[in-house]
A and B are shown apart, each in its own frame.
Chain A
Amino acid sequence: MFNETKFWNTFIIIIASLIVVYAIVDIFVLRKLPKRSKNQTTLINGLLILGFASIMVLLIDSLGMFLFLQTIMDKVLGICVLALATTGIVLIFKTSMTTNFAQGSMATLGAFFAARYILYLTATTTLTTIQKVFLAILVSALVAFILGILIDVFIIRKAKHVTSVGKQMITMGLVLVISGLIPVTFGGLPLEIPRLSYDIVPVTLFGQSLSIPQHSIYALYLTVIVLVVLFAALRFTKWGLGVRATASNEIVAKMMGVNTRIITAMSWAIAGALGGLASVLAAPFGGQVTTGLMVSYQVNGFMASILGGFSSFGGPLVGAILIPLLQGLLFYFSNLWQNAIVYLIILLIVLAKPLGLFGKKIAKKV
């Protein structure tokens, strides 16, 4: 159906030609102009858009429309989970200035409670699967929400004078504590979370008849609702204003009467809840619930955050959509190296734009 070697040759030619065009324009045109850096940014943006478009065309051309769209359908769930996890990471990065390695572990703890609750519900009540899983999602989000508050109140708030690398280490310690506590608390129980629904729905898109699992559709609805509410809250409520103020400068925000303690605690709690939702949605695909449930999402979440840029909330979402999609699409051409290639592309993009695709440069006072 398609030729792997031809695809990779074209792929490498596209990327190499972008780099060559950049180098030529930069050396022969931009160096001679005043205001080099502004023009450079425009050039990089243009080349990135061109490269992205041509790679998409190449992918559609080599895969065919059906396989291209079907891959997108298959990756809907992965995108939803990653989007939720990434938003949590960014929220904490904004308010606490640290990369939260415990994001995945908080979510996993929620998933364990959810699975235990499902076991309890199955034994005592006669609810349908979908009702049980919805209740479990609430339990998972609630557990992670409370855990987030506890972590902030008892640990992060007390570690105000620790550097951001130190805070990173604290979250790393929390990962160890949580992943040690889970087997002690839930040891021996076979815990599983069923899907919301096992049906597969036929969809017609651009004249192609595709299929998508019902579970992914529910996950998409949930994710979109949660994220729209969250983004609206960030944009229009007082809490959102507080988060943005704290993100830009915590001390000044405090002086202006923003209660940064509550803002930070709520950010941790909401990040936890987002993770709890994500973990229950992701759990059915790994068989039994294990402590390593969210590790790959965690790493991809960090990657998505720097790809989109930590300085905005929308940028990381774009990253969270692109990463699983590219991994899924490149899978057809190399089922071993797709992850490495996606990370390499991210590395190249971040080298070209150090603050991410949508990052804004913040002037630093020396």
Chain B
Amino acid sequence: MMLYSVNRSLERKTKLHQILHHPYFGFFALGFLLLFVQFLRITGVNIPITVLRGLGLTMIYIIIALGFSILLGYAGLASLGTAGFVGIGTYLIGYLTNAKGYSISMILVIGFLGAIAIGTIVGFISLRIEGLYLGIITLGLSEILNEVFKNATAITNGTNGLLMNRIVLFGQYYQFNSNTIFIAIVFILILVMVLTLNIMKSPTGRAMLAMRNSESAAQAMGVSVLKYRLLAFIIATVYAFLGGILYMTYIGFSIPTTWNLAFSLFVLAAVIVGGSQSIAGVVLGTFMIFGLDLAVFQQITFFQENPDITFILNGVLIVVVVMFYPGGLARLLINLKFKITNLVKKLMKKWKAYKYGEDD
């Protein structure tokens, strides 16, 4: 596979081909597409605000899911605590901005350090507890965090939810402008995708992959399980915190009921349905699980009248994809591509045979 693509790129090494086949091309294309939608909205094309909001939320969920895909697809650790960590991110920025007036760059630094601390703790837990047990223990952790969100009313405003309607940047207060924040999220998303790809393709990613396939073999080859498990959890937690901070800046409201078991399971579903080892798969899966409902179905009157149908569709989608394509939608696309190219080749051959007579 690898050799094949190298050969092909040697054969036809045009400038355009190089650009199209660059690993970052897809990320920037996606980013430009999203920016274009936002641009249309600004210039006055009548795109409903809910569509944009759905796309913005989907981007934030893609960031969270990318962190999770490193954890699940590369380190092989299943966690159900995502919701709790994202929730901490939202309350962190909400509290620090409302009560303390910290600037957003300061909050990002604090969030980064906090995520490292929490990731380390969960990483150490994961050293003792494995497999499905780890999933349930992280679920318990998420439940504890949810109780904290509900009951620590001084910080989180309890079950009424925490509102945040301005951010601090360079010592100045700014009112929300969802258009600007949408553009900022697009750029952060591109950055995160590039970063994730580099992690995946680096020695770190390969070490994690080795650990996932066989822990004993990886240890025998000198891969430190402690180091890479901690690292995987730290990366996932940092992404989740970042997602939470972006969520709060974009939506401006956080309530404990959002950060429940269902959210963690949806993120897990997005990664599994998409394909846990490819970025394109995660993007596709997140769009299927979150984006379709948020940006598309909510525009159609049939689904507005019967919101339960979307649940059924989503559920059937998850079941069917996991049953028949355990590699996820990414694998499905690759298979489809191969089938189509084979079909085209076959048809070409037949056509040539028909035109020039059957030689071979």
Contacts and interface: CB of A to CB of B under 8 A. Distances in A.
B283 interface: no
Contacts of B312: 176-177, 180-181, 184
Contacts of B319: 155, 170, 173-174, 177
A350 B129 contact: yes
B292 interface: no
Interface in B256-307: 261, 265, 268-269, 272-273, 306
A169 B136 contact: no
Given A177-B311, A299-B143, A350-B137, A184 B306 contact: yes
Interface stretch (B144-152, B177-185, B337-345): B144-152
A351 B135 CA distance: 14
Contacts of B269: 169, 172-173
Contact of A351 (B125, B268, B309): B125
B140 A166 contact: no
B151 A346 contact: no
Nearest to A102: B315
A299 B136 CA distance: 9
A302 B139 contact: yes
Given A166-B322, A347-B140, A173 B133 contact: no
Contacts of B316: 173, 177
A173 B315 contact: yes
A354 interface: yes
Contact of B131 (A164, A169, A303): A164
A126 to B, nearest CB: 35
- Chain B interface, >50% SS class: helix
A355 B130 CA distance: 9
A343 B265 contact: no
B115 interface: no
Interface residues of A, number: 49
B136 to A, nearest CB: 5
B216 A366 contact: yes
B33 interface: no
Contacts of A158: 323
Contacts of A366: 216
B132 interface: yes
A99 B135 contact: yes
A306 B151 contact: no
Interface in A290-345: 295, 299, 302-303, 305-306, 310, 336-337, 339-340, 343-344
Nearest to A97: B132
B70 to A, nearest CB: 15
A154 to B, nearest CB: 10
A169 B322 CA distance: 7
Given A101-B265, A162-B326, A343-B140, A170 B318 contact: yes
A170 B306 CA distance: 23
Interface string A150-179: 000001001101111111111011111111
